[in-house]
Amino acid sequence: MKQIFADLQVLTGISEADYATIAAHSTLTQSWIDDVVEAFYDTLFGYEKTSKVFPRGEAERPDREQTLRRWYMQVTSGNINEAFWWQQWLVGLIHIKVKVSNTYMLGMTSKVQQLFLEKCMTHLDSAEALKLYGAFKRVTDVVATLIAEGYFVNYVESLENVLGFNRGLIERMMEIEITKRIANLRSAT
């Protein structure tokens, strides 16, 4: 995870200045928590495919809302440290267990980012809104990437352990399969 995070720092430009920008606006952005949580879970429970992720249905919603509230309050506090990033990596592993696809996670990350941008544009002048949104977007893009990579890496490593394959063999088998799939897709278009 450390190397992935280091790569993301370079590629996204995330920095301590982003955390400081977010912290400076925490009172305002934390006042938006109810709107974020409501929009997030109204979307998930309102869409048949994502509502199936919750085995207890609406009875599970209060617990899930609390999880999102804690996450949102931490992000908008600007108090983001290595432990926070490791927690995002762990979420990828949890998503495997509870069958939350990266499609759903990335879609909902976008939903939160869009709502956050709308709130920024409503409550701040355009320069400050852009600065705050940029910081929030970089943080949430890194969150989403760590979750997605955590999902992928843990999935592959779990398959290795369960099936007893070594990484080199899996990579060679995957290269052969991917080459075939690329050829099939190219011939179909």
What pLDDT digit, counting tens, does each position of 113-156 carry?
A: 999 999 999 999 999 999 999 999 999 999 999 999 999 999 98
> How much of the chain, in percent, has pLDDT values that exceed 90?
88
Say which residues have a Cβ less than 8 Å from residue 72's Cβ, sequence separation at least 6: 30, 33, 36, 37
User: What's the pLDDT band for 169 if we cut at 50, 70, 90?
Assistant: confident
pLDDT of 166 > 90? The answer is: no
Q: pLDDT for 56-87, tens place per residue?
A: 989 999 999 999 999 999 999 999 999 999 99
pLDDT bracket for residue 1 (50, 70, 90): confident
**Residue 67 host element (H or E):** helix 61-77
Token reading at 3: 């190397």
Burial class (CB in 10 A: 0-12, 13-18, 19+), 13: exposed
pLDDT of 22 above 90: yes
- Name the architecture of domain 2-188: Orthogonal Bundle (1.10)
The pTM (predicted TM-score) of the whole model is 0.91
Compute, in degrees rounded to 10, the torsion defined by CA atoms 104, 26, 136, 85.
-70
Of the candidate ranges 93-102, 114-123, 160-169, 178-187, the one whose mean pLDDT is the lowest? 160-169
CA distances from 71 to 12, 30, 123, 171, 172 (A): 21, 11, 22, 35, 39
pLDDT at position 163: 86
- Binning pLDDT at 50, 70 and 90, where does residue 170 land? confident
pLDDT surpasses 90 at 164: no
